[in-house]
Chain A
Amino acid sequence: MGLLDKARQRSPWLIHYDCGSCNGCDIELLSCLTPLYDVERFGIVNVGDPKQADILVVTGSVNQQNKSVLKNIYDQMPEPKVVVAVGVCACTGGIFRDCYNVVGGIDKVLPVDVYVPGCPARPEQIIDGIKLAIDKLAQKDVVKEEG
């Protein structure tokens, strides 16, 4: 494992997008940053800027209104990038899957790398999921071309 791979594993910056979640998963996700779980010890930083993020964490089911927003955020992120779906709504659409405005899980819009089920997903589960995402991030090839 090269130095770059190690650096990429040690410094995953994540951006969180709430795709119309009930806030249950969002609270659990943000609690990962609190002193009890402290994910910053793994170098994880919650950034607000997709251009500087490596991991896109999405909560909630996609609907017709925000699917273009989600796609836009994903497109702004530079390679290599991974997507984590947190909560059952983001994975499959959950109890909202049959609503007239709901598209379904976020895998209808984006290629999802890690699914974290649960309603809401527990912080331990989310950290496990992000750890899996970090391993996937290191496996992805470096894109060197100018974008």
Chain B
Amino acid sequence: MNVLNIVFRLLLALVVFPIIGGLIVGLDRKLTARLQGRYGPPILQPFYDVLKLFSKQRIIVNEFQVISVFIYLASSVLSLVLFTFQSDLLMIIFVMSIGAVFLVVGALSVKSAYSQVGAQRELMQMLSYEPLLILIIVGMYLMRGSFNIAVIMSQGRPLIEELPLLFLVMVIVLGIKMRKSPFDLSASEHAHQELVRGLLTDYSGLYLGLIDIAHWFDLMLLLGISTLFFYPHIVLGIIASLFLVILEIVIDNVTARLTVKWMLTYSYGLGLVLAAINIAVVYILR
């Protein structure tokens, strides 16, 4: 791997991917507005929001909150960088989880009841999607014999042929991670309100902007993993990932927010069963 290659990958992970992530969030707001019969904000709206948040006065409740925001951002950035450098998938997921945990701990460090309840619910959301994400990666491991992305990408046939059910599980994971209805329990986007702003109630200004940016990184990482299902047909993978996002937006608009208990039942009941069937079939047929 020469220097040019490294620079290219860093540029991809640190500049290009987050910008695409921001554009996807902008597309989300536009599409949601169109589905509701409204004109909607411009596609660049998330960037305006983040820039504005950066220029606001900085109000913090305690120092730990600031540390946790920076750790969340750092771990999201690091996990996407590791992804573009074709590192170990299991490690990427663990790095991403550290950030998610710190976001929760930061929300727990303040006294606001909304923030506290939002943090508890975010923990439940993590409890719902993390096992599914791990199972998706276990499925990939079973197929290729390695967690390493370079090895997973080294073989000819796309993973989706053998792991179609795990790709469906990705829909559940993405919905919970994007905090879309019916899973927008811990905090919700734009005009929806839940527990004031739930998990994000006590974050403001620069720190809220950084959380938004970290969210774009997380989104791109998950879409990267879903694109991996289609390798070597990268274009097909990108189209499928985009379709996944649009599906999430439609689901967001046609469903209502449900309870934490329902989310656990649904993600474990449907997600774990789908994943287990797929992995069992792969295991038996090999």
- Are B55 and A7 in touch, CB under 8 angstroms? yes
B41 within 8 Å of A (CB atoms): yes
- Count A/B pairs, Cβ under 8 Å: 96
Specify which of A3, A33, A40, A78 is in contact with B205 (CB 8 Å cutoff). Answer: A78
- Are A52 and B204 in touch, CB under 8 angstroms? yes
| Given A10-B48, A143-B57, A147-B60, 14 additional A-B pairs, CB 8 A | A7-B51, A11-B51, A40-B33, A43-B48, A45-B191, A48-B196, A49-B204, A51-B59, A51-B203, A54-B56, A78-B205, A146-B58, A146-B60, A147-B57
**What B residues does A78 contact at CB under 8 A?**
56-59, 204-205
- Chain B residues numbered 19-54 whose CB sits less than 8 Å from any CB in chain A: 29, 33, 36-42, 45, 47-49, 51-52, 54
Specify which of B38, B47, B56, B196 is in contact with A79 (CB 8 Å cutoff). Answer: B56
A40-B191, A47-B197, A51-B201 are known contacts. Are A4 and B55 too (CB-CB below 8 A)?
Answer: yes
Interface size on A, residues (CB 8 A): 32
Q: How far is the CA of A110 from the CA of B37 in the complex (A)?
A: 37
Specify which of B38, B47, B57 is in contact with A38 (CB 8 Å cutoff). Answer: B38
Interface size on B, residues (CB 8 A): 34
Q: How far is the CA of A33 from the CA of B193 in the complex (A)?
A: 14
A119 within 8 Å of B (CB atoms): no
A132 within 8 Å of B (CB atoms): no
Look across to chain B and name the residue whose beta carbon is closest to the beta carbon of A3: B51
**What A residues does B261 contact at CB under 8 A?**
none
- Are A49 and B39 in touch, CB under 8 angstroms? no
**What A residues does B42 contact at CB under 8 A?**
10, 43
8 A-B contact pairs sorted by A residue (CB < 8 Å)? A11-B49, A40-B190, A42-B41, A43-B42, A48-B197, A49-B201, A79-B57, A146-B60
- Are A11 and B197 in touch, CB under 8 angstroms? no
Name A's B-contacting residues (CB within 8 A).
Answer: 3-4, 6-8, 10-11, 33, 35, 38, 40-43, 45-49, 51-52, 54, 76, 78-80, 142-147
- Are A33 and B191 in touch, CB under 8 angstroms? yes
Q: Least Cβ distance of B30 to chain A in Å?
A: 10
Q: Least Cβ distance of A76 to chain B in Å?
A: 8
- Are B60 and A46 in touch, CB under 8 angstroms? no
